[in-house]
A and B are shown apart, each in its own frame.
Chain A
Amino acid sequence: MNSRAKWILPIVTGVVLLGLWMLAKYTLGYLLPAHSADNPLVPLPAYLLPGPLEVVQAFMEERVILAGAAWDTLRAAAAGFIAAAGFGFAIALLLGNSLQLRTAFYPWIVFFQMVPVIVVAPIIVIWIGSGITSVALITFMISFFPVVANTTQGLLSVEANRLDLFRLYNARWWQTLLLLRVPNALPYFFTGLQIASSLAVIGALTGEIFIGSASSTGGLGFRIIVYKSQFKIPALFATAFTACLLGFAFVGIVAWLRWLALRHWHESIRRKDV
């Protein structure tokens, strides 16, 4: 696929989706009681489905509040995500190097991953209080597991002949770790980070919905509650799009870091057209 097609195809898809959205807005009115033979084109009201222009208008009206909220969410999501990346990698190093530790702790890590955030959030508020720390902690909890699971897998997936090669050269365990296992695990680590990056913003939003935030704007999650209670559906859509953009930025940054780290040697970077 040539580089022009890589840009054009997503734009075409976006235009088609926008068209479908407009179509839904102006045709689903048939389902409403207000529809009549004299007035066949009844658009859905904004509280049921706002049109793209109404969402843009709401975005412009609320831009200062949304920007502040996005900043709050970004800070909490970034803090939780960075902690998950660092701590997750460190834990994976321990698990990847010790069968005993892996056997003892890995099932529990999986178990705690299954605990719903909805249940944990109130407990975190009781322990830590409301505010950015709690939101960051929830983000951490939701982003941590993909990093640990993928990195551990990468540390353990070293080709047997390469391990034998290091054995033949009498490599110490830490040499095998640093020169062989860790570089081998990098693609896996970045796969974990990519999953975590898409979860980080969701985690922060969930945290904010349950906890709120100490700042004036209260994060995008908090805005969702406010706009819902005020029945400002176009603003709710604008908030959703802002959250999507934030998530997109997270995923984009991780993709860029992955490209930086793996661009010289990893097949997934080199063979994009497969």
Chain B
Amino acid sequence: MPIIELLDATKRYGDGPVVLESLSLKVERGEFVALLGPSGCGKSTLLRVVAGLSPLTSGAVTVAGSSPEHAREKMAFIFQEATLLPWLTVQGNVEVPLRLRHETKETREARASALLELVGLATVANYYPRQLSGGMKMRVSLARALTLSPEVILLDEPFGALDAMTRNRLNEELLRLREAQRWTALFVTHSVQEAVFLSSKIVLLGANPGRIHRVLENPLPYPRTAETRETDGFQQLSARLAAELRQTPMPTL
């Protein structure tokens, strides 16, 4: 049974244009699915629908067999911005989901410390977000997303605002973290290279309205490292996807 399933999903904001139209998609447990498409094609909307943050106009969406609202405990969401709470330390930020669950102080501290160790930020646990670089903030956001050991992580262009070098390093780190926990990922991006490097499946979306243009299986084997980007397979798939992307309907500017 797929862990995420969208069936004939249509989304429209009020009387505005249709953002997503008759979109059907199945994501199997353990898959890393990249949603690739031009800005404005409804990628983020699709992610918000799966998270239960935005209801569908028609159609259905299920996560782990139930409605997104009932499956929230199994999901984590990473936003484009790190969305850290500036008044809390790094440690405090990672503890937020556990505080909301009324976990004891000892449990919270132990879990947050372990995760900060995992993302390489143990030494800055007592820093405040303003003291961190953009990449470090995203790693805190990543650690926070992992606190409740989610089965599904929804990532909305989390590295879009970072420089290319930091983005590449965080992509590698993301895959390293996933090796250990094997969560399912639905990853929104408009970067072809990022989609090819991370995903096991790539869903190409077109705009006006948002529809699935093509679904491609990514044959590149895991684990992937920085060297993966130098391989012929990576280059060829990236070139093919870039060409496909040019064929997709673009949003009106």
Q: Which residues of A contact B (CB under 8 A)?
A: 159, 161-162, 164-171, 175, 179-180, 183, 186, 264-267, 270
Q: A168-B51, A168-B53, A265-B130 are in contact. Are A162 and B83 (CB under 8 A)?
A: yes
The residue of chain B having its C-beta at the shortest distance from the C-beta of A183 within the complex is: B87
User: Do the beta carbons of B85 and A183 come within 8 Å of each other?
Assistant: yes
Q: What is the CA–CA distance of A186 and B88 in the complex, to the nearest angstrom?
A: 13
User: Do the beta carbons of B75 and A161 come within 8 Å of each other?
Assistant: no
Q: A169-B96, A186-B87 are in contact. Are A265 and B129 (CB under 8 A)?
A: yes
User: Do the beta carbons of A169 and B85 come within 8 Å of each other?
Assistant: no
Q: List 6 A-B contacts (CB under 8 A).
A: A164-B51, A165-B79, A264-B128, A265-B86, A265-B128, A266-B86
User: Do the beta carbons of A168 and B85 come within 8 Å of each other?
Assistant: no
The residue of chain A having its C-beta at the shortest distance from the C-beta of B53 within the complex is: A164
Q: Which of B52, B77, B86, B87 contacts A165 (CB 8 A)?
A: B77
User: Do the beta carbons of B128 and A179 come within 8 Å of each other?
Assistant: no
User: Do the beta carbons of A179 and B130 come within 8 Å of each other?
Assistant: no
User: Do the beta carbons of A159 and B83 come within 8 Å of each other?
Assistant: yes
Q: How far is the CB of B63 from chain A (nearest CB, A)?
A: 12
B110 contacts chain A at the CB level, 8 A cutoff? no
The residue of chain A having its C-beta at the shortest distance from the C-beta of B148 within the complex is: A169
Q: How far is the CB of B113 from chain A (nearest CB, A)?
A: 20
Q: What is the CA–CA distance of A266 and B130 in the complex, to the nearest angstrom?
A: 8
Q: What is the CA–CA distance of A164 and B83 in the complex, to the nearest angstrom?
A: 10
B97 contacts chain A at the CB level, 8 A cutoff? yes
Chain B residues numbered 81-123 whose CB sits less than 8 Å from any CB in chain A: 81, 83, 85-87, 96-97, 99-101
Q: What is the CA–CA distance of A264 and B83 in the complex, to the nearest angstrom?
A: 18
B167 contacts chain A at the CB level, 8 A cutoff? no
B73 contacts chain A at the CB level, 8 A cutoff? yes
Q: What is the CA–CA distance of A267 and B97 in the complex, to the nearest angstrom?
A: 25
The residue of chain A having its C-beta at the shortest distance from the C-beta of B129 within the complex is: A265
B: number of interface residues (CB 8 Å)? 23
Centre residue among B77, B87, B96, B148 by max chain A CB count within 10 A = B87
User: Do the beta carbons of A167 and B100 come within 8 Å of each other?
Assistant: no
The residue of chain B having its C-beta at the shortest distance from the C-beta of A180 within the complex is: B85
B72 contacts chain A at the CB level, 8 A cutoff? yes
User: Do the beta carbons of A164 and B100 come within 8 Å of each other?
Assistant: no
User: Do the beta carbons of A170 and B128 come within 8 Å of each other?
Assistant: no
Q: A161-B81, A168-B72, A169-B72 are in contact. Are A175 and B100 (CB under 8 A)?
A: yes
Q: How far is the CB of B78 from chain A (nearest CB, A)?
A: 10
The residue of chain A having its C-beta at the shortest distance from the C-beta of B102 within the complex is: A175
Q: A175-B100, A179-B96 are in contact. Are A167 and B83 (CB under 8 A)?
A: no
The 6 A-B residue pairs with the shortest CB-CB distance, nearest first, are A183-B87, A265-B86, A161-B83, A169-B100, A161-B79, A265-B128
Chain B residues numbered 45-93 whose CB sits less than 8 Å from any CB in chain A: 51-53, 72-73, 75-77, 79, 81, 83, 85-87
Chain B residues numbered 23-38 whose CB sits less than 8 Å from any CB in chain A: none
Q: What is the CA–CA distance of A76 and B100 in the complex, to the nearest angstrom?
A: 42
User: Do the beta carbons of B77 and A164 come within 8 Å of each other?
Assistant: yes
Centre residue among A165, A179, A183, A267 by max chain B CB count within 10 A = A165
The residue of chain A having its C-beta at the shortest distance from the C-beta of B81 within the complex is: A161
Q: What is the CA–CA distance of A175 and B83 in the complex, to the nearest angstrom?
A: 17
For the complex with contacts A168-B76, A175-B99, A179-B100, 20 further pairs of A-B residues with Cβ separation under 8 Å are A159-B83, A161-B79, A164-B53, A164-B77, A164-B79, A165-B83, A167-B53, A168-B51, A168-B72, A169-B72, A169-B97, A169-B101, A169-B148, A171-B100, A175-B100, A179-B96, A179-B99, A183-B87, A265-B86, A265-B128
CB-CB under 8 A from A265, the residues of chain B are 86-87, 128-130
CB-CB under 8 A from A170, the residues of chain B are 72-73, 100
CB-CB under 8 A from A266, the residues of chain B are 86-87
CB-CB under 8 A from B72, the residues of chain A are 168-170
Q: Which of A161, A162, A267 contacts B130 (CB 8 A)?
A: A267
Q: Which of B73, B76, B100, B128 contacts A166 (CB 8 A)?
A: B100
Q: What is the CA–CA distance of A71 and B249 in the complex, to the nearest angstrom?
A: 75
Q: What is the CA–CA distance of A180 and B96 in the complex, to the nearest angstrom?
A: 10
Q: What is the CA–CA distance of A162 and B73 in the complex, to the nearest angstrom?
A: 17
Q: What is the CA–CA distance of A167 and B54 in the complex, to the nearest angstrom?
A: 12
